[in-house]
Amino acid sequence: MSTATQTAQHGLSEHSHGAGVPIQTRYERLRSTNVADFPPVSPREEQWRYLSADRLGGLDADTLAEFVGDLAVTHTDGVTTAWVGEENAAFGGAGIPEERPSAAAWGSAKQAYLVTVPGNQKSEVQIALTSESADPSAVHIIIDAKPFAEATVILDHKGHAVLGENVEIIVGDEAQLTVISIQDWDDKSIHASTQMARLGRNSRLKHLVVSLGGKTVRVASSTEFTQPGGDTEMLGMYFADAGQYLENRLYVDHAVPNCKSRVTYKGALQGDKAHTVWVGDVLIRMAAEGTDTYELNRNLLLTDGARADSVPNLEIETGKIEGAGHASASGRFDDEQLFYLQARGITEIEARRLVVRGFLNEIIQQIDNEEIRERLSNSIEAELARSGS
């Protein structure tokens, strides 16, 4: 087994009698950069419980083409960018794949696009990733925020693609980083993105995922605390139409003491066979005393025929924590809210739109960029107008 491969290969671990048994804790999952170490995508594996292999469009194949679309970058002074190979210290600095499509993308993208954010200044970076190719392809992006950096990085996906993506996020000691990932593909695109963050001492990460366009979009986000004092806020917003599949999987690994995490994801669904999946895993290890964590998922079903699956998981190995909890709910419009608005002369359709806007606006307002906020608000308006909701 290579040095990049850890225990629990193929979802099994060895107990004292030598027989394979199911994984007992989240951190036992196989991690490897070698796609051959992973079995075929199957609903027998928990991470593929809701998504069939045929919806991946070939992103689980042994090899993929390298991304040939356009990657346009704008940034403030002091930020540097470069294509780097695995010999670079940042390559793999935030983690390695836990799933077959991520490993396929890792091995197929021979170089990674490294964005280095300097310390002791405010910076902003916008990466516009645009494609018009239906060939299954791979891209690898690394965001390296140096100690004492303060920055916002926006990763904007547009056009048509069948794309496997790995995004590494390295947050140095005392750094404050916001990363916004927008999936606004056309309605035939397929996107599987693994976004791994590793936080240093007293660092702060705000990670925001917005998924609106695409036939199948799956974003697996993880945060690992490596030193005390870390703070992460993982936010997400999604809006699924008929036949669209949007999945978000999160993992927060509290491996060290005195760190804080907050997870808040909200989604709206409309149309026949619109399907969203949210799975949130939080692990508090034995050493992680003083942990403070909470995760929340809310889904608003606007029409019949839509389905939202929501699965919060909390694993605690020590009782010496500040607090831990989770909540999830999926449901229709609140009749009392609609009645209240209609009683004040607002039509039913406009009342529904006001409820949806208010429901999702909590996430949109977390984005400091006014242009992006306006664009996302307009996208929601277009979704609502399309359905007449």
Phi then psi for residue 26, to 5 deg, are -60, -35
The pTM is what? 0.91
pLDDT value at residue 354: 78
Mean per-residue pLDDT, 308-324: 93
Query: What per-residue string of b and e applies to 102-131 under the rule 16 or more CB within 10 Å gives b?
Result: bbbbbbbbeebbbbbbbbeeebbbbbbbeb
The pLDDT of residue 197 is 98
Q: Give 24's strand partners.
A: none
State the DSSP string of 314-377: EEES-S--SEEEEEEEEE---HHHHHHHHTTT--HHHHHHHHHHHHHHHHHTT---HHHHHHHH
| pLDDT higher than threshold 80 for residue 249 | yes
**What integer pLDDT is reported at residue 312 of this predicted model?**
95
pLDDT in tens, 190-247: 999 999 999 999 999 999 999 999 999 999 999 999 999 999 999 999 999 999 999 9
Phi and psi dihedrals of 202, rounded to 5? Answer: 55, 30
Higher pLDDT, 28 or 299: 299
pLDDT at 337: 63
Reported in sequence order, the residue ranges of 146-203 that DSSP labels E, i.e. its strands, are 150-171, 176-185, 190-199
DSSP-derived pairing of the beta strands 70-75 and 122-145: antiparallel
- Tallying the residues shown for the chain, one arrives at 389
**How much is the pLDDT for 11?**
38
* 199: phi then psi, degrees, rounded to nearest 5: -105, 140
The structure tokens 């390295």 sit at 170
* Cα separation, 216 vs 185, whole angstroms: 10
Helix (H) or strand (E) run with residue 294 in it: strand 292-301
> CA angle at residue 246 from 7 to 354, to 5 degrees?
140
